[in-house]
Amino acid sequence: MTTVGFIGSGMIGGTVARLSVAAGHQVVLSNSRGPETLNDLVEELGPLARAASSEEAAGAGDLVVVSVPLHACPHLPAGSLAGHTVLDTGNYYPQRDNQIPEIDSGKLTSSAWLQRQLPGAEVVKVFNNIYFKHLRSLARPAGAADRTYLPIPGDDTAAKSAVTEFLDSIGYGAVDAGPLAESWRQEPGSPVYGAPYGPFDNEAGTPASADVIRAALAAATR
């Protein structure tokens, strides 16, 4: 059993938490408003879930899902996240996050920028390119012919292996998408962002094989 910490428990974070509990993992949830605001979600998820501060969620998780706007990332509990694998679900939206020169210039991807904020952690980008309703509905057991795959860029091989194992447990395959420097290939506007999993108005989604995801990553241009 893995313990998964959550910093941010909204649409993506909450969906990953539900999939995690269904797979038998313990989850420690947090958000910016305080543990008491997560009582309903904790009650829904049952005895494998509890709410905590972001520092507690970071320290408790074997894996930690960070699902907050990019402008909030400098306020993450970097000390508590040191030594942990961080699953970065975020995307950079300048109109929301304010301009970040290193990202605007192409010097850093948003996930590489996050890695700079968390020098003691290992960041792996995942879940950023799939609609939360599709993430909820497309989970399939290992070996299923219609299993869906998610791209996972990261700089640390062990961290990517841990994320691959976790994805497998919650119903998804993983496609190694290279280092964080290549994570622009799955950012908003890229071929792998949203489209392989079907239109948003189809909540059931469309399964996307590993080959479909690899082809979409390869088709990305800057």
- Quote the number of domains for the chain: 1
CB 68 within 8 A of CB 90: yes
What is the per-residue burial (b if ≥16 Cβ within 10 Å, else e) of 178-191? bebebbbbbbeebb
pLDDT digit string (tens) for the chain, length 222 residues: 799 999 999 999 999 999 999 999 999 999 999 999 999 999 999 999 999 999 999 999 999 999 999 999 999 999 999 999 999 999 999 999 999 999 999 999 999 999 999 999 999 999 999 999 999 999 999 999 999 999 999 999 999 999 999 999 999 999 999 999 999 999 999 999 999 999 999 999 999 999 999 999 999 998
Please give the Cα distance from 12 to 46 (Å, whole number): 19
Domain hosting residue 142, numbered range: 3-218
- pTM, to two decimals: 0.96
Please give the Cα distance from 186 to 206 (Å, whole number): 18
Nearest to 128 by CA among 99, 90, 163: 90
| DSSP string for 163-211 | HHHHHHHHT-EEEE--SGGGGGGGSTTSTTSSGGG--TT-TT-----HH
State the CATH number of the domain containing residue 118.
Answer: 3.40.50.720
Cβ-based neighbours of 83, under 8 Å, separated by 6 or more: 120, 121
Nearest to 129 by CA among 165, 84, 174: 174
The pair of three-digit structure tokens given for residue 108, joined into one six-digit string: 């850093």
